[in-house]
Chain A
Amino acid sequence: MQNATDETDELFEAIGLDLDTERRSVVLAAFRPIAVEIAKLRSLDLGDVYPAVVFSPVPGMAEEPKETR
């Protein structure tokens, strides 16, 4: 049986956040008030509404700035 720490490690690995325990606490604490706002948004029933981002099969020609290294 996994303990809570293992499960938390696994969860953070699953979301791709590779942080040590101390840093993780800092990020989670900072996210807390934002999580409250997002939870408020979740409470809205918007089931049938099409999202504002609409897929198009026509490829864009984006000229994103490229980082040079």
Chain B
Amino acid sequence: MTSDLIGQPVDMLAAMLRQGRTSSVDLVSSALERIAAVDGTLQSFVCLASDAHEHARRADVEISAGGWRGPLHGVPVAVKDNYLTSDMPTRAGTSAPGIAFEPRDSSVVARLSAAGAVIIGKTRMHEFAWGNTTPPTRNPWDIARVPGGSSGGSGAAVAAGIVPIALGSDTGGSIRIPASLCGTVGLKPTFGRVSGAGVVPHSWSLDHAGPLSLTVADSAHVLNAIAGHDRGDPGTVPVEVPDFATALNQPINGLRIGVCRNHFFERNETGVLAAVEEAIAYFRDSGAVVIPFEMPILAYGLGAIFAIELSSSTAYHARNIADRHIEAFTDDVRILIEMGRLVTGPDYLKAEQFRRVLMQELARIFASVDVIVGPTTPLTAWPIDENTVQIDGTEESTLAASWRLTYPWNLAGLPAISLPCGFDGRGLPIGLQIAGRPFDELNVLRAAHAYERGHEWKDARPSVQRGGQSDGINP
């Protein structure tokens, strides 16, 4: 048995499981071997499931008896530490004493289990999903650099080949940022597509549950398993759930690709800009129609997301503020929760008014384009403990820079995916972001899969060391 068995896409693992060429028990063992080999360095997991082998044995029995449930059946997956689980503790990234969450499965965990997935453990996250570095997790491409956040453990675990799929959550970019920085796929579905019931809230109207995965197809398989209306989450919408795998292997001839030339292209690292421009050229050369446009209103978006996110998070933590549990939070998180009190009611509602305008503006744009393409993050993974970055001659905080291109899609609630589109001069992965209309994940996946199958980025693997380079293909 080798620990690299697990570092394969789900389609391949599912085929091997059905043909009896491997077993779910072997895959779980392979994942645990991989954890033993690399997670002492990466620190991407906070908890392992004691019953994973038992679930795997049951999956093997069912599959061999002809009871295959679908692509996730018998496949080891991980979930972020803010998803409630009945058999593992939930900490939401905090080590503050006196805070614990009830032991029950969140809706997404229950749906993954129903699809036959074997949950092997929980991944590290930035405390209460309020940050983008996820200490002490390290980036598998260069362990001296951050994995992004707040789903940094999920990004590192998938990139390092520990699991092919890990669930994350995304309030301003927390799935797509670690996906971009770790060189994985990360899908934030439309708000209301996937239930947030049983996921520790950060900001109710901005939070999205979704997967990080090795490939676009794997994210489509996960979405098939977890999408759908849920009475436990009043934010979910009772719309039809298509088979997302039908978006794979589709032509993109005539697909209208929008490129928002302001905001998304204003200040990016040179390597990021070059890779994304090459991706746009690829779409054009593949028969898609590239339509540039501008959206000046995005200049007001940062104030809007801050007003909503800060006030929501502070409202959620009211009890932790009152009983002073907050004093044991890490200082970067504590300060954000405290300052939410400084956002006024009118500011919050103005931000919600802004959202309406943004949604209407995007609806107008989406009348003439099918997807919008751009960079996921303007920079690649930055060194741990570095809090500022210089891009295009302008110094800004890494926090401000890293979510600048992702938060607009949280404000609008639209589906958006990040997938690898190359490496910078330091061998660090670059993310391409594709967004779509509300509940049109099909076109997002269609465009993403078309790009992915025309390139070899998904086959590159990190060597998990300082300054580590690709084991697969040369950047």
Q: Which residues of A contact B (CB under 8 A)?
A: 15-17, 19, 23, 26-28, 30-31, 34-35, 37-42, 44, 46, 49-53, 60-69
Contact = CB atoms under 8 A, between A and B. Distances in A.
Interface string B180-202: 00000000000000000111110
Contacts of B321: 16
A7 B352 CA distance: 31
A14 B343 CA distance: 13
Given A40-B299, A66-B102, A17 B338 contact: yes
A27 B101 CA distance: 28
Interface stretch (B7-15, B63-71, B304-312): B304-312
B457 to A, nearest CB: 34
Contacts of B356: 49-52
Interface stretch (B229-237, B377-385, B430-438): B229-237
A42 B342 contact: no
A65 B338 contact: no
Contact of A63 (B100, B197, B339, B354): B197
B18 interface: no
Main DSSP-derived SS at the B contact region? helix
A44 B299 CA distance: 11
Contacts of A60: 234
A51 B349 contact: yes
A38 B311 CA distance: 12
A15 B342 contact: yes
Contacts of B355: 51-52
Interface of B: 84, 90, 98-102, 106-107, 197-201, 205, 231-234, 299-300, 302-304, 306-307, 310, 319, 321, 335-336, 338-339, 341-343, 347, 349-357, 359
A51 B355 CA distance: 7
Given A38-B303, A62-B233, 13 more contacts: A15-B341, A17-B338, A27-B335, A27-B338, A28-B342, A37-B303, A37-B306, A38-B347, A52-B352, A63-B232, A65-B200, A67-B102, A69-B98
A59 B90 CA distance: 28
Contact of B232 (A46, A51, A62): A62
B310 A34 contact: yes
Contact of B303 (A26, A39, A63): A39
Q: Among the interface residues B107, B233, B338, B354, which one has the most CB atoms of the partner chain A within 10 A?
A: B338
B101 A41 contact: no
23 contacts: A15-B341, A28-B342, A30-B336, A31-B339, A31-B342, A34-B303, A34-B310, A34-B339, A37-B302, A38-B307, A39-B303, A42-B350, A46-B354, A49-B353, A51-B352, A52-B359, A53-B352, A62-B197, A63-B198, A65-B84, A65-B101, A65-B200, A68-B101
A50 B341 CA distance: 24
Tell which of B90, B106, B350 has the most Cβ of chain A within 10 Å: B350
Nearest to B231: A61
B335 A30 contact: yes
A64 B201 contact: yes
Nearest to A46: B353
Given A27-B342, A38-B347, A52 B353 contact: yes
A16 B347 contact: no
Contacts of A44: 300, 350, 354
Contacts of B107: 63
A12 to B, nearest CB: 8
Nearest to B84: A65
Contacts of A51: 349, 352-353, 355-356
Contacts of A30: 335-336, 339
Contacts of B352: 51-53
A53 B345 CA distance: 13
A69 B98 CA distance: 6
Given A15-B342, A26-B335, A53-B352, A65 B300 contact: no
Contacts of B342: 15, 17, 27-28, 31, 35
A59 B353 CA distance: 23
Closest 7 CB pairs of A and B: A60-B234, A41-B303, A51-B352, A37-B303, A52-B355, A63-B232, A46-B353
A55 B101 CA distance: 29
B102 A68 contact: yes
Most chain A CB within a 10 A radius of its CB, from B100, B198, B356, B359:
B356
Given A19-B338, A27-B338, A41-B350, A65 B303 contact: no
A69 B100 contact: yes
